[in-house]
Chain A
Amino acid sequence: MTAEQGAKRAAKPALVRVKGLHKRYVHRPVFSRSEFAVDALKNVDLELQPECLTALVGASGSGKSTLALCLAMLEKSDAGEIWFEEREISRCAAHELAWLRPKIQMVFQDSAGALNPFFSAAQIVAEPLEVQRRESGRKLRLRACELMEEVGLSADWADRSPLEFSGGQRQRLAIARAIALQPTLLILDESLSGLDLVTQAQILNLLADIRFARSLTCLLISHDLSLVGQVADHIAVMHQGTIVERGTRQRVFGNPQHTHTRELLAATPGLELAFRTAQPGMRT
């Protein structure tokens, strides 16, 4: 990000503001009178700057996906506020959220599970346009093919089943479906986990192009710091349901303040190697 771009974006209000968000899951085992509760989110504060890529990192079970589901209003928070485009959405009833649904889209980790195997690739991409009554008839298929081409998939594959695509191609298809409604916020929940490094880099480059072309704000959820360290503008570190550190990528990587951030950085093999190889004479 250039200084000029950074200044322009800093002048804009945050697209998403989260204040004191709390979410508790209560579980009662079958045939048991006792129940136990898990505080998945505890007093979470977060801001997503428009047109920026914010990475949410943390270990498994730290609450990253719960936060994403709350932001997309697919999960109701117990307390706190979520402001989207200057409107408080956390207490809205389902019917009041029709305007919001197209604006926030998600891409999930398990692309094979997230795409309907009985639909063709074109039907998968066209479905949100049909549901939101944006296109119909021949135009619908044409638009689906255009979106497939935009994410680097040939329109000749429009009639293929998603199971005929590789893992990386399925994620491209999921991204095509997610951008079909021209969202403002795209949430990628561990969407690159399980893909090899070459495919990860290709998808991140595609994401950079889409962000640039569509002025998109992205929240990238990942446990892989070496990955987010290459692309994120801002980083928020989650630990046991709380955001323990957040800031620009340079600040979080260059001067981590919280013990958990330092632990994550130390455990990341790519970074360890990068630090070693950056010092002449350390290679053996």
Chain B
Amino acid sequence: MKPVPVASSFDEAAGLLRVCGLSVSYAGSGPSPVMALRQLDLAIAAGEVLGVLGESGCGKSTLALSILGLLPSAARIEGSILFRNEELLGLPERQLRRIRGAKISLIHQEPGFALSPVMRVGDQIAEVIIAHRSLTRKARKQEVESMLREVQLADTGRIYAAYPHQLSGGELHRVAIAQALACRPDLIIADEPTRSLDVTVQAEILGVLRNLNQTVGTTLIFITHNPALLAGFADRVAVMYAGRAVEEGSGSRMFFRPRHPYTKGLLDLMPRSTRPGDSGFGSHLPVIPGGPPDWQSLSQGCAFEPRCSLRTGICRTENPGEVTPEAGHRVSCFNHDS
């Protein structure tokens, strides 16, 4: 018997950040708007690592930009984003600027583009401190160097004086993390911070973030399309599809027992073995068929229905509500693994 829908764990979470019923849409070329986020609910407690997992185009980066109030003016936003019980949606730009960098900061996918090419990286980190803290020039420099050491960059003098093009990809990523840390924010949003990095540098960057969480207690939202990066790192994982969180639960439970067919599909993509003879001519990898839905023509039913191997008649006509098959775990699927 399937569990009866009940209030989700989200309702009880005493969160640092609470996102309630967040919807973001843009006017498209067709009659209906393009929905980038649809009634999204998420919460994160202080000191937690929340992994946000999903394919390209499922709304992960829109979520990050919504929290920071960085969406383009054409975006229509509904719902609520509470940060330390303060509503962020609708805050004047002046007040948002006091929060960005000081209380919530963002690590971009491509630090090469996020950093100015004509400023020394040390000065760019110091800019954040100038905006939010009053320190003398000397103290500021010491603070920046201390940040650089914290992200495990040894040669702080050279790094401080370097321009972005003079640094390697791994060094640039560390500088971006140091910049995000500059004012000791309560929350860091890392938007695919290891994308396009080779595995050794990726492991180092993950180590830096893990270390910050464990030693300083930095709260992290880690956005990625690769479940392997969240294994053993994220306390909780929210799986997003077509602008909604289709499953959310503790990291270990999610990997041990995924319940939504989309989550299972994503986890099946991870390498399982290197058995002899399991590849070669004609052999295929497990895959989720098709692609993300057309945002302008989402049906009334479940957005994942066209790609789902477990779909039934009801999936086409009704949007599945949220159920909690076990404490702290919620899933939106009529045919989830119970």
Binding site for B on A (CB under 8 A): 1-2, 5, 51, 58-61, 166-168, 193-202, 204-205, 208-209, 211-212, 223-227, 229-233, 249-250, 253-254, 263-264, 266-274, 276-278, 283-284
Contact with A along B247-258 (1 / 0, CB 8 A): 000001001100
- Chain B residues closer than 8 Å to A269, beta-carbon distance: 199, 202-203, 206, 226, 228-229, 231
- Chain B residues closer than 8 Å to A201, beta-carbon distance: 269, 285-287
Q: B274 on the interface (CB 8 Å rule)?
A: yes
With contacts A205-B287, A223-B199 taken as known, whether A198 is within 8 angstroms of B273 at the C-beta atoms is: no
Q: How far is the CA of A251 from the CA of B276 in the complex (A)?
A: 9
Q: How far is the CA of A47 from the CA of B130 in the complex (A)?
A: 57
Q: How far is the CA of A59 from the CA of B204 in the complex (A)?
A: 13
Q: How far is the CA of A193 from the CA of B286 in the complex (A)?
A: 19
User: How far apart are A165's CB and chain B's nearest CB, in angstroms?
Assistant: 11
| Shortest Cβ-Cβ A-B pairs, 3 listed | A1-B280, A223-B198, A196-B225
Check A208 against B199 for contact (C-beta < 8 Å): no
Check B274 against A253 for contact (C-beta < 8 Å): yes
Check B203 against A267 for contact (C-beta < 8 Å): yes
Check A226 against B270 for contact (C-beta < 8 Å): yes
Taking A194-B195, A201-B269, A264-B200 as known contacts, 19 extra A-B pairs with beta carbons closer than 8 A to each other, sorted by chain A number, are: A1-B279, A1-B281, A59-B198, A59-B201, A60-B168, A60-B197, A198-B291, A201-B285, A201-B286, A205-B287, A229-B271, A231-B279, A249-B279, A266-B203, A267-B202, A273-B232, A273-B255, A278-B272, A278-B273
Number of A-B contacts (CB under 8 A): 138
Question: Residues of B within 8 Å of A, CB-based: how many?
Answer: 46
Check B271 against A271 for contact (C-beta < 8 Å): yes
Check A229 against B274 for contact (C-beta < 8 Å): yes
- Chain A residues closer than 8 Å to B284, beta-carbon distance: 205, 208
Check A167 against B282 for contact (C-beta < 8 Å): no
- Chain A residues closer than 8 Å to B291, beta-carbon distance: 166, 168, 198-199
* In-complex Cβ contact of B269 among A194, A198, A211, A276 (8 A): A198
Q: For chain B, residues 142 to 177, give those with C-beta under 8 angstroms from any C-beta of chain A.
A: 168-169
Q: How far is the CA of A205 from the CA of B280 in the complex (A)?
A: 11
* In-complex Cβ contact of B266 among A168, A198, A227, A229 (8 A): A198
